[in-house]
Structure 1
Amino acid sequence: MHKDLKIKWGIIGCGDVVRKKSGPAFNKNNLSELIAVMSRDGIKAKKFAKILGAEKHFDNVETLLKDREISAVYIATPPSTHAELAIQALEAGKNVYLEKPMALSSKEVSKIIKVLNTSECKLTIAHYRRRLPAFLKVKKLIDSGAIGEIRFADIRILQPLKSDLIAMGANEDWRIKPEISGGGYFHDLAPHQLDLMLLYFGNYRSYCGISGNQSSNYEADDYVNGLIRFENGIHFRGIWSFNMSVKESKDECLIYGSKGYLKFSFFGEKLELVSDSSHDLFHFRNPKYVQQPMIEATVDYFLDNGPNPCSAEEGLMVMKIMDGFCNNND
């Protein structure tokens, strides 16, 4: 076991995602304890500390990183700060659990990895869907040959301008400001979806895509169309559009095999299997705090009790694909 008997966490960033999806989960494991939160807004930091049961609160990163009691940090700020904060944390000797997208671009991700490789610290990416029951079941069915040899996968994320899929809090329109988010809503949603495709099908051989701003409602592109060819011959195509009518809304993934297909949504809790021999519908219930299974696996990794549930190199693969789809891979 790692020299630490328990991971003691500090959180950098106090948004709705922390409050609803991740923050409370750090205290749901006997080997994990949330002891500090940080926000540039000191009043907000104090409020979050009370809500999450943390004994300490800070209004600057440097003070948090100097706290010797903290062994790991969860970086839950907008993507424009991810690279800088991750590097600061690693250089301060802290393990890092980093929100998606990993950074603004694959170039920034490479800078994080360069520092990580010279550090004794560890880093995990918060692609938490790979630990949820529905998506674990998809992988199990694929690996068992339930639909035969996989041919291709198809994703359709079609949403109106105001989408219920976007985890928005008050004044959180930063997601459509490329200088803060890296792009538009695609950069908020696609990392999880592309990560799952890589988890299911392995390394890619090539990828390409196009993107554009069709509605001119904001600066970022609101349409992305991408293709991937995996090393094993499986193909992928995906469309993300955030300018559709409400009636055309869709959140769907279809994985086609030689003997049938799997159909599921990324925000639902059911999975459909249609094959030559069966037609089954599986229902799932996510944990109250959806990042809890991923956080538990991260704690095990930080304590040398298990493998990295999502490595920086896997995060880099996702970012390279996103850059390529959005024509940012110059």
Structure 2
Amino acid sequence: MKIDENVCWGIIGCGDVTELKSGPAFQKVEDSSLVAVMRRNEEKVKDFAERHHVKKWTTNASEIINDKSINAIYIATPPSTHLQYALQVLKANKNVYLEKPMVLNSIEAKILSDALKQSRSKLTIAHYRRVLPVFLTVKELLESNVIGHVSLAEITIHQSKSANLIAKIADNWRTNPTISGGGYFHDIGPHQIDLMVHYFGEVDTIIAVDLEKNTVSNDVVKGFVQFKNGIQFKGNWDFNAEEDKDNCTIYGMKGTISFSFYGDEIIIFLKGKQERYQFKNPMHVQQPMIEKTVGYFLGKNVNPCSIHEAAVVTQIMDVFCGIN
């Protein structure tokens, strides 16, 4: 496989997310191959490489970044090292597929954006839900004006201690703000907010709500966004709730569209009638996004999620959490 005609990947941080969601897809997508993987734990990275049939493995990220047989790198480490590794990869003139949240905050987002402008490389953010069947269909329904002029979108995510929306791991870095940027909100919130920005466009106003109820780990987050087209968005996340809830409802003049971020259906209420759409996600949920990313890196299609779009998501999260 010629490196100038194909995307030859290295992975920095082959942890849980790369086992099924993303890792295998790099070998299944056309014009794509997985050349090498990195993790600091030698036993675990060697095991990953053997099970996933990857020829090269290392515990040193620099070896991945400087490997001449690699022209693109997937950064799948915890968020606290995203900026560090992304800057190194850009300096090496290689393309980047970067896990969400893109960086810890808007300050880091500006640093990365400036570095990308000075680079010849391309960068895509892994907001993969954009191209999953459920969320593609929601966008198509909105664009076809099925529920009429949209006025409001509401997200409610309530998670009890027993909920399984987020992977439970022994070393739970997701609740350590210095590593994750906050708490569980910083782990799942980016996907949900990104979809709102993807659906409704440029943002006009961002307001935090009930900020006094928030904590350093962002257990309770509420916020409001006014888009330039007049559509409003209200978000409510509670990770200490008594009952679990996972819902987004979009209100139009003719009816509503409701869906779950972790479910498999869309419910449309229109003229007093209910209609349901059922979906099935691919085995490797990031594969459609990786296909689009490979296409972008090879000049076949536009960027499926740019740094500018992800920076807007970061800004919204910062305001919602009282960072700025």
**Cα shift at 1:48:** 1.0
* Residue pairs, 1:262-273, within 5 angstroms: 262-273=257-268
Partner of 2:164: 164
- 3-state SS of the aligned residue for 1:328? coil
- Return 5+ residue gaps in structure 2 as ranges: none
* TM-score, length basis structure 2: 0.96
Deviates more, 1:44-53 or 1:251-260: 44-53
**Cα shift at 1:3:** 7.8
Q: Which amino acid aligns with 2:69?
A: E
Deviations 1:212-238 (A, max 9, x none): 68698xx51200000000000000101
Q: 1:230 and 2:224 equivalent?
A: no
Partner of 1:175: 174
- Aligned residues with identical type, % of pairs: 49
Partner of 1:290: 285
Partner of 1:312: 307
**Cα shift at 1:4:** 1.8
- Return 5+ residue gaps in structure 1 as ranges: none
Q: Which amino acid aligns with 2:178?
A: E
- 3-state SS of the aligned residue for 2:190? helix
Q: Which amino acid aligns with 1:200?
A: Y
- 3-state SS of the aligned residue for 2:22? helix
Contact 2:214–2:220 under 8 Å retained in 1: no
Partner of 1:94: 94
* Residue pairs, 1:108-147, within 5 angstroms: 108-147=108-147
Change (3 A) 1:149 1:215: closer
Q: Distance in 2 between matches of 1:35 and 1:168?
A: 29
Measured on the aligned residues, the alpha-carbon RMSD in Å equals 1.6
Q: Distance in 2 between matches of 1:315 and 1:215?
A: 23
Q: Distance in 2 between matches of 1:13 and 1:51?
A: 16
Q: Which amino acid aligns with 1:314?
A: E
Q: Distance in 2 between matches of 1:265 and 1:21?
A: 19
Match of 1:300 among 292, 295, 300: 295
Change (3 A) 1:3 1:51: closer
Contact 1:152–1:236 under 8 Å retained in 2: yes
* Residue pairs, 1:1-330, within 5 angstroms: 4-169=4-169, 171-210=170-209, 220-245=217-242, 248-276=243-271, 278-329=273-324
Q: Distance in 2 between matches of 1:293 and 1:280?
A: 26
Contact 2:113–2:307 under 8 Å retained in 1: yes
Q: Distance in 2 between matches of 1:156 and 1:241?
A: 8
Q: Distance in 2 between matches of 1:3 and 1:164?
A: 40
* TM-score, length basis structure 1: 0.95
Q: Which amino acid aligns with 2:247?
A: E
**Cα shift at 1:5:** 1.3
Contact 1:158–1:244 under 8 Å retained in 2: yes
